[in-house]
Amino acid sequence: MKPALSPIRHGGDLQAAVRRYGRPAAEWLDLSTGINPTGYPVPPIHGDAWRRLPEDDDGLAQIAARAFGAQQALPVAGSQAAIRTLPQLLGRGRVGVAALGYSEYAPAFAAAGHDVVLLGESDFAQPSLADGLDHLVVVNPNNPTGRLLPPEALLNWHATLARRGGTLIVDEAFIDCTPGHSIAARSGAPGLVVLRSLGKFFGLAGVRCGFVLGERAWLDALDERLGHWTVSGPARVIARAALADTAWQAANRDRLAACGERLSALLRRCGLQPVMQPLFCWVPHEDAARLHDALARHGVWTRRFDAAGDCPPGLRLGLPPDTPLTWRHLEAALAAVMRR
């Protein structure tokens, strides 16, 4: 019997909160995503970017490969485009996917005819995890639980899979804050695919630009399947600027780390036990549904997750905009909710 797959849900659904609670959008503190609230300052875009068709030889692929330390990169319309397509390029088999994780992977593999094996968090502590699997998907750090695996564990699983012609897919959407854990530099090896994004660390989710890192033949096959002009001209302009701006990236990394620590400390003072990543906190709690509703009634919109695998239910909170007003709003809401 195949496991029941969770429905696909995403944060950022603020209009649903507006309709449900009757509070205008401007009065909400939306923490339902892990997107940097102070994103990269978008440069002016020349009119040619709007008038001309996107040009694949504009240097974006090379800039991205250099920025991520990879041998080559394929720009795509957000990593979402690759997630929906890559299962169709892999031989059908048993695919390990976290039971509590980014909800797009399991349905995409199931739709392509793969046998999806839902994994608990404890499974990712097992060196033998890849045994019996043909492919393995690892989101690192995991969204929403914040589990961050060392490169050694990932590379060991890759070696096991590659010996049998299998594939390790590593989604590094949140890795930019902790680049020492990235395995992008190894992505040229057969059977290893790494996904990167501009949406989270750079705060450019609306640009819809991501990158697939892997061996050349595999990237060419994916490019052929996706077709021409997957990333718009204006998006390519913004991506080139953001990836080349190493000074902004360094300053942003420091700022996000400080804001993440501040959010984690605030949650601990309120009696919660967060697992911190710089861009979000995971708060496991048996009464997560009540906390989610209570915070919403104070104008704070979070992302609620039901129990899955061996994980309890919980909330994921992204960073608030770093202003005194937003921090006061969050602190007051948490204090009121936790007093109850």
Does pLDDT of 340 surpass 70? no
Residue 3: pLDDT band (50, 70, 90) is low
Residue 6: its pLDDT value, please?
A: 59
Residue 2: its pLDDT value, please?
A: 54
Residue 13: its pLDDT value, please?
A: 84
Q: Enter the pTM of the model.
A: 0.95
Residue 11: its pLDDT value, please?
A: 64
- State how far the Cα of 175 lies from the Cα of 129, in Å rounded to an integer: 22
Mean pLDDT of 21-43: 96
Using an 8 Å Cβ cutoff, are 107 and 87 in contact? no
Residue 81: its pLDDT value, please?
A: 86
Using an 8 Å Cβ cutoff, are 156 and 125 in contact? no
Note the pLDDT tens digit of each residue in 150-190. Answer: 999 999 999 999 999 999 999 999 999 999 999 999 999 99
Average pLDDT for the chain: 95
Does pLDDT of 248 surpass 70? yes
Note the pLDDT tens digit of each residue in 317-337. Answer: 999 999 999 999 999 999 999
**What CA–CA distances, in Å, run from 200 to 53, 188, 194, 308?**
27, 24, 16, 24
Mean pLDDT of 117-143: 97
Note the pLDDT tens digit of each residue in 171-180. Answer: 999 999 999 9
Q: Read off the tokens for 244.
A: 């080349």
Residue 79: its pLDDT value, please?
A: 86
Among residues 329, 284, 279, which one has the least CA distance to residue 100? 284
Neighbours of 43 (CB within 10 A): 12
Does pLDDT of 130 surpass 50? yes
DSSP characters for 221-271? HHHHHH-S--S-HHHHHHHHHHHH-HHHHHHHHHHHHHHHHHHHHHHHHTT
Mean pLDDT of 236-264: 97
Q: Read off the tokens for 323.
A: 């202003």
Q: Read off the tokens for 287.
A: 């009464």
Does pLDDT of 240 surpass 90? yes
- State how far the Cα of 247 lies from the Cα of 237, in Å rounded to an integer: 18
Residue 220: its pLDDT value, please?
A: 96
- State how far the Cα of 54 lies from the Cα of 228, in Å rounded to an integer: 9
Does pLDDT of 7 surpass 70? no
* Residue that is written with structure tokens 């992505």 in the block: 187
Does pLDDT of 1 surpass 60? no
- Whole-number percent of the chain with pLDDT over 70: 96
User: Dihedral (C-alpha) 162, 196, 8, 77: value to the nearest 10 degrees?
Assistant: -110
Domains and CATH numbers, the chain: 14-39+247-339 (3.90.1150.10), 48-245 (3.40.640.10)
Residue 204: its pLDDT value, please?
A: 97
The length of the chain is 340
